C-alpha cells in the first residue's frame, strides 16, 4: 500500500513512513493511493467482534507490510487496554432514531485517544526497530495535546513538544498537558490562537534544515495514521445498528475535519452511509464553504466548544483532493490562493462534496439549550462539542438511524455544562487529584525562530 501527497509533488511513502513523517514535503497531506474495499459479507462479519478485532480487520489493508499481523494485533491490544469501557466506543440511544457514540472513555476523555494511543504504540514499535529517535511537535486547540502527551510520555525514543494557545484551553485541558512529570514532555503556551499554533507548526515542517536536524515527526490530525484509527468506530457503530443491511447517517462535531473525513473513508470502503453531517460552532468556515463554495478565512471566535475553534481546517484538503479528481496541482493552487485568505471551490468539486457531506452550525445559545434538553429527556450529559453535533443532527433526523459522535467527556468542560444544567459534572475518580498537581509549562512568543531555539535547547538537555 503506497501513500501519495494531495499536492502531487512529494515522494510516495509506505504506511510507516507516512506515519513518521506527518506532513508531506510539498506541504500536502498523505492519502492512500487507493482505498481498499470491504465486501458486504466482510462488513457483516464485524458484528459481535471485540473492538480490537474489528480494528484489525478494518485497518489491516491500509498497513501493507509495515507491521506483521502478529505485531499489529499486539499493538492494538496495548492501544485500547487503558480505555475505561469494555466496548471502547459504546452507543447509547437519545431518541427514536438518534444514537450517541461515546468516544470519551480513553485516558484523556476525548475521542483523540482512539488515534493517539494507537500511534504512540506504532511509533514506539517502529522507532525501536529502526534504532531512531524523533522529536514530535504538535499544535492543539486543547484535546490533541493532552492525548499526545498521554500517548508518548515516558517513551524512550521520543521528545514531545505541544503548542497550545495561551488562555484558550479549559483548565482541565491545560492541567492534562502541564502536570505529567516525564522529562520527554514539554508543554508550550503560545501567545496567539490555535491557528497561530498550527501555522508555526507548519513553518517548522517547511524548514527542511530544522525538520531534518531534529528529526521532526508530526502527530497532528493531518497524520494519516490518526485518520485511519478513527475509521474503525464508524464501522463498529454502524454494524451494531444493522449495517451493511441497513444504512446509517453520522453527525460529527468538526474542527480540523479529521474525524468526519474518517467517516468518508469508511463510506468509500463500502460502509453504507447515507449522510455525513458536518457540525460546526460559530467558527463555521466549513459550513459556509458547503453552502456557498467559497472557502474564506475569518478570525477565530472563542466559544464554549474550544476544540472546534478553528478556521483553517487542515484535513479538508484531503476531501478537496478527491473532489478535484485527485489532481494534486489543482489542490496546490487552491492552497496557494488560501495564503491571501480565500479560494473558490469549482462547481464540479462542490457537486462531488455535496454527494457525501451536508453541514450545519450551532450557536452558543443553541449548544447550551441542547445540553439542557438532552439532559432533561434522556439524563445524558453532553459536552459542548457533542452538543453541537446533537443540535445539527436534529435538523437531519429521518427514517435512517442517525449516530452523533460524542467527542469529549462533559467533565472536561464543566463551566459550559454548569451554565446549561446547573450542576458540574464529576471527573472520573482516577483524575480527581489532577487539579491540585503542580504545573510545568513554558510561555513562548508567536515566533518561529524563538520556538526552534527552545526546541533545540531542550533536546540537547535530554
What residues are labeled active site? 112
Residues 6+ apart with CB under 8 A from 376: none
d(CA 263, CA 113): 17
What is the nearest approach in angstroms of ligand PLP to the Cβ of residue 177?
13
The nearer residue to ligand PLP, 27 or 263, going by C-beta atoms, is: 263
The nearer residue to ligand PLP, 85 or 129, going by C-beta atoms, is: 85
The nearer residue to ligand PLP, 218 or 255, going by C-beta atoms, is: 255
What is the nearest approach in angstroms of ligand PLP to the Cβ of residue 199?
16
Applying CB under 6 A, which residues contact ligand PLP? 110, 112, 143, 221, 253-259, 307-308, 385, 407-408
What is the nearest approach in angstroms of ligand PLP to the Cβ of residue 48?
28
The nearer residue to ligand PLP, 318 or 375, going by C-beta atoms, is: 318
Cell of 319: 476531501
What is the nearest approach in angstroms of ligand PLP to the Cβ of residue 356?
15
Q: Show the CA angle centred on residue 187, arms to residues 427 and 125, nearest 5°.
A: 85
Best CA proximity match to 38, nearest among 261, 246, 267, 234: 267
Q: Are the beta carbons of 144 and 117 closer than 8 angstroms? A: no
Composition of the chain by helix, strand, coil, percent to 5: 50, 15, 35
The nearer residue to ligand PLP, 43 or 417, going by C-beta atoms, is: 417
Q: Are the beta carbons of 12 and 33 closer than 8 angstroms? A: yes
The nearer residue to ligand PLP, 27 or 255, going by C-beta atoms, is: 255
Straight-line distance from the first to the last Cα atom of the chain, in angstroms, rounded to the nearest whole number: 36
Cα distances from 73 to residues 62, 70, 151, 289, in angstroms, run 14, 5, 18, 40
What is the nearest approach in angstroms of ligand PLP to the Cβ of residue 285?
12
Backbone phi, psi, residue 277, to 5°? -100, 120
Q: Are the beta carbons of 19 and 119 closer than 8 angstroms? A: yes
d(CA 81, CA 55): 14
What is the nearest approach in angstroms of ligand PLP to the Cβ of residue 129?
29
d(CA 253, CA 375): 19
The nearer residue to ligand PLP, 124 or 259, going by C-beta atoms, is: 259
Residue 386 half-sphere exposure, CB side, CA atoms within 13 Å? 31
d(CA 235, CA 212): 38
What is the nearest approach in angstroms of ligand PLP to the Cβ of residue 146?
9
d(CA 35, CA 10): 19
Q: Are the beta carbons of 375 and 420 closer than 8 angstroms? A: yes
**Bridge partners of residue 199, in order along the sequence:** none
Amino acid at each position: 500500500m503506497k501513500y501519495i501527497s494531495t499536492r502531487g509533488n512529494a515522494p510516495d511513502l509506505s504506511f510507516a513512513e507516512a506515519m513518521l513523517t506527518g506532513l508531506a514535503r510539498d506541504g500536502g497531506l498523505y492519502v492512500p493511493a487507493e482505498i481498499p474495499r470491504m465486501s458486504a459479507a466482510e462488513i457483516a462479519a464485524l458484528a459481535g467482534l471485540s473492538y480490537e478485532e474489528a480494528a484489525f480487520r478494518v485497518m489491516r489493508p491500509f498497513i501493507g507490510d509495515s507491521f506483521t499481523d502478529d505485531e499489529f494485533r499486539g499493538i492494538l491490544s496495548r492501544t485500547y487496554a487503558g480505555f475505561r469501557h469494555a466496548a471502547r466506543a459504546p452507543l447509547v440511544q437519545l431518541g427514536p432514531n438518534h444514537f450517541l457514540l461515546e468516544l470519551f472513555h480513553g485516558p484523556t476523555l476525548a475521542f483523540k485517544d482512539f488515534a493517539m494511543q494507537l500511534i504512540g504504540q506504532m511509533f514506539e514499535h517502529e522507532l525501536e526497530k529502526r534504532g531512531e529517535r524523533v522529536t514530535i511537535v504538535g499544535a492543539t486547540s486543547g484535546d490533541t495535546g493532552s492525548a499526545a502527551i498521554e500517548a508518548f510520555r515516558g517513551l524512550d525514543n521520543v521528545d514531545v513538544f505541544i503548542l497550545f494557545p495561551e488562555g484558550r484551553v479549559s483548565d482541565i485541558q491545560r492541567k492534562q498537558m502541564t502536570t505529567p512529570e516525564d522529562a520527554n514532555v514539554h508543554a508550550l503556551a503560545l501567545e496567539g490562537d490555535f491557528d497561530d499554533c498550527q501555522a508555526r507548526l507548519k513553518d517548522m515542517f517547511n524548514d527542511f534544515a530544522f525538520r531534518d536536524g531534529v528529526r521532526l515527526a508530526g502527530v497532528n490530525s493531518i497524520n494519516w495514521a490518526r485518520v485511519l484509527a478513527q475509521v474503525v468506530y464508524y464501522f463498529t457503530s454502524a454494524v451494531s445498528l444493522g449495517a451493511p443491511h441497513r444504512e446509517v447517517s453520522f453527525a460529527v462535531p468538526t474542527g480540523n475535519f479529521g474525524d468526519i473525513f474518517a467517516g468518508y473513508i469508511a463510506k468509500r470502503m463500502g460502509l453504507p452511509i447515507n449522510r455525513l453531517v458536518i457540525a460546526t460552532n460559530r467558527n463555521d468556515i466549513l459550513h459556509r464553504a458547503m453552502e456557498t463554495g467559497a472557502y474564506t478565512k475569518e478570525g477565530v471566535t472563542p466559544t464554549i466548544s474550544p476544540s472546534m475553534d478553528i478556521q483553517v481546517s487542515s484535513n479538508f484538503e484531503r476531501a478537496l483532493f478527491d473532489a478535484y479528481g485527485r489532481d494534486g496541482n489543482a489542490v496546490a493552487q487552491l492552497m496557494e490562493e488560501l495564503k491571501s485568505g480565500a479560494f473558490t471551490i469549482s462547481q464540479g468539486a462542490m457537486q462531488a462534496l455535496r454527494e457525501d457531506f451536508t453541514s450545519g452550525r450551532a450557536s452558543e445559545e443553541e449548544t447550551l439549550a441542547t445540553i439542557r434538553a438532552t439532559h432533561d429527556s434522556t439524563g445524558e450529559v453532553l459536552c459542548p462539542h457533542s452538543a453541537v453535533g446533537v443540535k445539527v443532527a436534529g435538523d437531519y433526523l429521518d427514517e435512517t438511524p442517525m449516530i452523533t459522535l460524542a467527542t469529549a467527556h462533559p467533565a472536561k468542560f464543566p463551566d459550559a455544562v454548569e451554565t446549561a444544567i446547573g450542576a458540574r459534572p464529576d471527573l472520573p475518580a482516577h483524575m480527581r487529584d489532577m487539579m491540585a498537581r503542580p504545573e510545568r509549562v513554558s510561555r513562548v512568543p508567536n515566533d518561529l525562530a524563538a520556538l526552534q531555539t527552545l526546541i533545540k535547547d531542550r533536546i540537547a538537555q535530554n
